[in-house]
Amino acid sequence: MAAETFNTWPDLVIDGGRLAATEWSPRLSGRECVAAMLRRDPDAVVLRVVAFDGHRRGLAPGGLGA
């Protein structure tokens, strides 16, 4: 199973629509996935991460931080 982050962006937080999913290596932890997403796109708001070490939810508007 691949690890995944689910995110949105600041101007779309109140939209309530679907979250963008990004797949990562299954060897990455949730923290590593969030850090990689924020390196790739610092404006992203990561609201959920699923990895081998569990499932975490962040609260809007801030989301999860590395």
Ranges of each domain in the chain:
3-57
The pTM is what?
0.88
Does residue 64 sit in helix, strand or coil?
Answer: coil
Residue 54 amino acid letter: G
Q: Which residues share a beta bridge with 21?
A: 6
pLDDT category, 16, cuts 50, 70, 90? low
Q: Are 61 and 46 in contact (CB under 8 A)?
A: no
What was the pLDDT predicted at 1? 79
Rounded CA separation 24/34 (Å)? 10
What was the pLDDT predicted at 52? 95
State the chain's mean pLDDT as an integer. Answer: 91
Q: Which two tokens stand for residue 8?
A: 């949105």
R_g of the chain, CA atoms, integer Å: 11
